[in-house]
């Protein structure tokens, strides 16, 4: 197959979505542009309420955009809705399995709805069940499954009709770390075996490391978009977190004596410097305050998020986000 120029799997231009009108108008998505190459795993990051779910719902043809355009798998999400739907697989934040039916019956239902021929359907159902290691449980009712198994089954179901793009909205929300890792293992495995494009939203920064490219969304806008490595080196700094007896004094002296701006994050004095290892000895000699502990961290995506939005992802999640976590867990 010659390496021809291909249309991006997802291309979005000036996409907006508002709810309500007049004074009540809420702009959930404020004109975003993005392009996802075929075969990539693309991470969509941001705190709860950033507009990630609304964006993914527009790309999946569940909501119509207020303005702007989006093409997925080569078709317009509004004008050619069914063409898009045939070519995408969806895994929602909320559980969408029929608990009273067996795993096999759920998959069969999906295959029928998407119009797969009998033989194709049987073969695909076997393949996807095998992929998520649920072949031996295919005859069991879904209500007997654990949360992680249900999630795996939903991913399998999203793949039954061999979509070109797989959308996952917070696929690991409410799952324990071990299961989260397992889910990512399946997704990596999937990428190795097929050329599928994966579009995943998450607010776990560590999961973004699994992606080829990421976009950080905040307040309805994409603040930055690049590979995780490029983003980390663009921040280019190590982060130092200090526990001290007098945080105010420490911040003041850091500014006066070392010329470094610091701020409080999660109860610690936090500063960004080019080379952490060289700064630490000077802290002890020049600050003259009691330092209880020092932590130096190489740049992580949390720092990238902080650099571009001015806060850590946990700062930006109010108490209501816990409610969202529990809602997603249900």
Partner 1 sequence: MAAPVREPLTVVRGDLSHQLRATWVVCRRELLRFGKDKARMLTMLLQPLLFIFVMGTGLGSIVDTGGGTDFRTFLFPGVLATSVLFTAAFSGISLVWDREFGFLREMMVAPISRSSIIWGKCLGGAIVATGQSLILLALIGTVGIPYSPVLLVQLVGCLFLGSLLLTALGVLLSTRIKTIQAAMPISQMLIMPMMFLSGSLFPVSGLPDWLAVLTKLNPLTYVVQPMRHLVLEQLSLTDVERERLLPVITWFGWSVPVGVQLIAVGAITLALVALAARTFRTVE
Residues that bind partner 1 (CB under 8 A): 1, 3, 6, 38-39, 60-63, 81-83, 85-87, 90, 92, 94-101, 105, 109-110, 112-117, 120, 124, 157, 161-164, 194-195
User: Cα 182–188–194 angle (5° rounding)?
Assistant: 135
At its nearest, how many Å lie between partner 1 and the CB of residue 83? 8
Residues in the chain: 330
Nearer to partner 1, 97 or 307 (CB): 97
Nearer to partner 1, 92 or 186 (CB): 92
At its nearest, how many Å lie between partner 1 and the CB of residue 249? 53
Q: What are the Cα distances from residue 45, in Å, to 49, 80, 134, 207, 228? A: 11, 27, 30, 9, 11
How far apart (Å, rounded) are the C-alpha atoms in residues 110 and 113? 5
156 with 162: CB under 8 angstroms? no
How far apart (Å, rounded) are the C-alpha atoms in residues 12 and 32? 7
Nearer to partner 1, 10 or 205 (CB): 10
Nearer to partner 1, 152 or 232 (CB): 152
Nearer to partner 1, 13 or 115 (CB): 115
Through-space distance between the first and last CA atoms of the chain, rounded to whole angstroms: 46
At its nearest, how many Å lie between partner 1 and the CB of residue 67? 18
How far apart (Å, rounded) are the C-alpha atoms in residues 297 and 306? 14
Q: Would you tell me the crossing angle of helices 118-131 and 177-193 to the nearest 10 degrees?
A: 130
DSSP type of residue 256: I
Sheet holding 10-19, edge to edge: 26-36, 10-19, 67-72, 75-76
Nearer to partner 1, 109 or 204 (CB): 109
At its nearest, how many Å lie between partner 1 and the CB of residue 228? 21
Nearer to partner 1, 134 or 160 (CB): 160
At its nearest, how many Å lie between partner 1 and the CB of residue 124? 7
> Which stretches of 36-170 are DSSP H helices?
52-59, 81-87, 103-113, 118-131, 147-159
At its nearest, how many Å lie between partner 1 and the CB of residue 215? 21
Nearer to partner 1, 6 or 181 (CB): 6
Q: What are the Cα distances from residue 104, in Å, to 65, 85, 110, 128, 162? A: 35, 22, 10, 11, 17
| Residue closest to 294 by CA, chosen among 260, 263, 261, 271 | 271
At its nearest, how many Å lie between partner 1 and the CB of residue 47? 24
At its nearest, how many Å lie between partner 1 and the CB of residue 86? 5
């Amino acid at each position: 197959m010659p390496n021809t120029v291909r249309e991006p799997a997802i291309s979005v231009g000036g996409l907006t979505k508002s709810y309500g009108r007049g004074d009540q108008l809420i702009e959930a998505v404020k004109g975003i542009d993005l392009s996802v190459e075929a075969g990539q795993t693309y991470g969509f990051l941001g705190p709860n309420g950033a507009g990630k779910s609304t964006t993914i719902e527009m790309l999946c043809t569940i909501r119509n955009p207020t303005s702007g355009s989006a093409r997925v798998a080569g078709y317009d999400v509004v004008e050619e809705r069914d063409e898009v739907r045939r070519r995408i697989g969806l895994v929602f934040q909320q559980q969408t399995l029929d608990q009273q039916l067996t795993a096999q019956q759920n998959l069969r239902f999906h295959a029928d709805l998407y119009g797969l021929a009998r033989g194709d359907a049987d073969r695909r159902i076997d393949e996807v069940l095998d992929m998520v290691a649920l072949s031996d449980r295919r005859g069991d009712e879904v209500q007997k499954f654990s949360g992680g198994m249900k999630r795996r089954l939903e991913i399998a179901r999203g793949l039954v009709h061999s979509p070109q793009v797989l959308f996952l909205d917070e696929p690991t929300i409410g799952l324990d770390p071990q299961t989260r890792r397992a889910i990512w293992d399946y997704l990596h495995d999937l990428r190795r075996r097929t050329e599928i494009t994966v579009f995943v939203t998450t607010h776990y920064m560590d999961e973004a490391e699994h992606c080829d490219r990421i976009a950080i969304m905040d307040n309805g806008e994409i603040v930055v978009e690049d590979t995780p490595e490029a983003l980390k080196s663009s921040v280019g700094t190590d982060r130092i977190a200090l526990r001290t007896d007098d945080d105010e004094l420490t911040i003041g002296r850091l500014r006066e004596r070392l010329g470094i701006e610091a701020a409080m994050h999660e109860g610690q004095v936090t500063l960004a410097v080019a080379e952490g290892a060289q700064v630490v000895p000077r802290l002890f000699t020049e600050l003259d305050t009691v330092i209880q502990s020092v932590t130096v961290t190489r740049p992580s995506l949390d720092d990238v998020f902080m650099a571009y939005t001015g806060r850590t992802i946990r700062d930006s999640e109010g108490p209501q986000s816990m409610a969202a976590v529990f809602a997603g867990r249900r």
